[in-house]
Structure formats: structure tokens, C-alpha cells
Amino acid sequence: MRISVDVQMTYQFPQPNTVALVLEAAHAPGQQIVRESLDLGDARVTRIAGDSGVGQRIWAQVGTEMQLHYQAQIDIARPGPDLSGMQAAPLHALPTEAAPYIRPSRYVQSDKFVSFVGKRFFDLQGGAKVAAIRDWIEMNLSYVPGASDSDTNVLETFAGRQGVCRDYAHLFCAMVRAAQIPARMASVYGPDVTPQDFHAVGEVWLDGGWHLVDATGMCGPESMALIAVGRDAYDIAFMESQAPATLINQGVSVIRA
């Protein structure tokens, strides 16, 4: 599938500022960047590798206003495999790249879910357990914009039973990690995200590779363009600014090309 991404944003800051931007589609397995451009005006730009080597993190030194325009065409050829048939690695076979992702993080206190996951999904293993967790979350959570904020953690989401994509993905990671299966947070572009915006999903380590899983049910793996990964929402924020950022305008468009 080919998708076209167009992101425009203007932010203002009280003084010249350095922001971290993580919003370009990654050069990663399963997707190919056909065409891409990033216009940041006269900002000075430094790039480093993204977390776990996925994508890039941009340091942009901007003035009191940042105008950004990102465009890309991406061919996605990622299979949407049946999770249920996939195997989880036993702990002793977890490689370096996957091992950190069975541990809790700022918003994902997976250590608190060991007992729940053990009881609720005790009879399932590997991909079948992951699939059941995904289904459980989609069934038990309601997608309610405004019901959470950037400080909401996964204990609150589990009790509150509502949230947005960020909260769905956090809870998914929490439960999967509680089952000792590596799960990380991923930011993606998807044409079926409603309303259109940056989207957060989970990614699990099964059959020796990473697989995107959207607990909101909005996107399949074959239609998601991966941007970045990390332990939780903090690691994949599309923009991080220490100075207060005033939103002037922001638009994200993702369409099937």
C-alpha cells in the first residue's frame, strides 16, 4: 500500500529554543520511503538515531517561531500476520534488542499487572495471549478524547476504562510485558486514524521480530508507517520542548496514494 503523509505545524516559543522532533517515517523493514521532504525554514538541524535504532530524532534549533512542513510517500509491504500462531521467545532466548522491553516505564507500570494477566489469560501462550490481550483492551476500553491527559498512567487507564490511542497502547504494553513478552510503544502514520493525527500503537516481539499491534482497532499492520519506538509515550513524542510551546496551527493528513 502506498500512503501520502503531509504534516504542517507552526509553534511559537517565548525565546529561541531547541526542540526534539520525531515525526519522519523510519527507514525500516516493511516500508519504503519513496519520496520525503522536511522543511524547517532556517532552523538548524542535527540528527541522531532514534531509540533502539529505529528512525531518527531531530534536534531543531529554532527561533521564537517554528514552521514545519513534512511530506512523504511511503510504500508499505508489511504482512498482517496472524498473531495467534506466533511464538514468544522464552526469557533465556530474548536478545539484547528485545530484553529492555519487558520492564516497566514511566507511564507503564507493568509490574502491577502480573497477577491480573496471569489469571485472566492463564491458558494462553505467545501470540495467542497477545491477541487476547489486544481484544480484551479493545472490548473493555472506550475511545474518549479528553478523558485522559499527558500525565495519565496505565493504572488510571485500567480503572478508568477510557482514553485515546496513547492510553490503549500503554495498557497493551503493560499487559504484554506483564506476561514477560517484550512490548514497546510505536508512533505511526495511518490513513484510517480518525480523527487524523499522529497515532500510537504497540509493537510486540514474537517469532523473533517486531510486530505492530493497534489495540484501538483502527489500523492494521499493512497500513501503518512506522515513525519511532520507545518504552512509552515520552520516548515517541512527535515534539518535545522545554520552553512552553504555543500551538498556532497543526495539521496531519495521511491518505492512500
Where do contacts with its own copies occur on this chain (CB under 8 A)? Answer: 18, 20, 44, 46, 48-49, 51, 57, 59-61, 90-96, 99-100, 103-106, 108-109, 111-116, 119, 142, 144, 147, 149, 151, 154-156, 158-162, 180, 231, 234-235, 242
- Considering beta carbons, is residue 39 or 97 the nearer one to its own copies? 97
- The β-bridge partners of 162 are 142
The least distance separating its own copies from the CB of residue 116, rounded to whole angstroms, comes to 5
Rounded least distance, CB 61 to its own copies, Å:
5
Please, which residue, 110 or 223, has the CB nearer to its own copies? Answer: 110
DSSP 8-state assignment for residue 194: S
Q: Least distance in Å: CB of 167 to its own copies?
A: 12
Residue number with CB closer to its own copies (79 or 151): 151
In whole angstroms, how close is the CB of 171 to its own copies at the nearest point? 10
Instruction: Dump strand ranges (E) for 154-245.
Output: 162-163, 183-189, 199-206, 209-213, 225-230, 239-241
The distance of closest approach from Cβ of residue 70 to its own copies in the complex, given in angstroms and rounded to an integer, is: 19
From the number of C-beta atoms within 10 Å of its C-beta (0-12, 13-18, 19+), residue 122 rates as exposed
Instruction: Decide: 207 and 173 in contact? Cβ < 8 Å.
Output: no
Q: Which is nearer to its own copies, 32 or 61 (CB)?
A: 61
Q: Given strand 239-241, what is the order of strands in its sheet?
A: 44-49, 56-62, 17-21, 239-241
Q: Residue 60 or residue 224: which is nearer to its own copies going by CB? A: 60
Cis peptide before 195 (omega within 30 of 0): yes
Contact call for residues 110 and 173 (beta carbons, < 8 A): yes
Check: CB of residue 65 under 8 Å from CB of residue 16.
no
Judged by beta carbon, residue 34 or residue 99, the one nearer its own copies is: 99
Three-state DSSP class for residue 200: strand
Type of residue numbered 221 = P
- The rounded distance, in Å, linking the Cα atoms of 93 and 35 is 38
State the greatest distance between any 2 C-alpha atoms of the chain, in Å, as a whole number.
57
**Residue 173 Cβ, how far from its own copies at the closest point, in Å?**
12
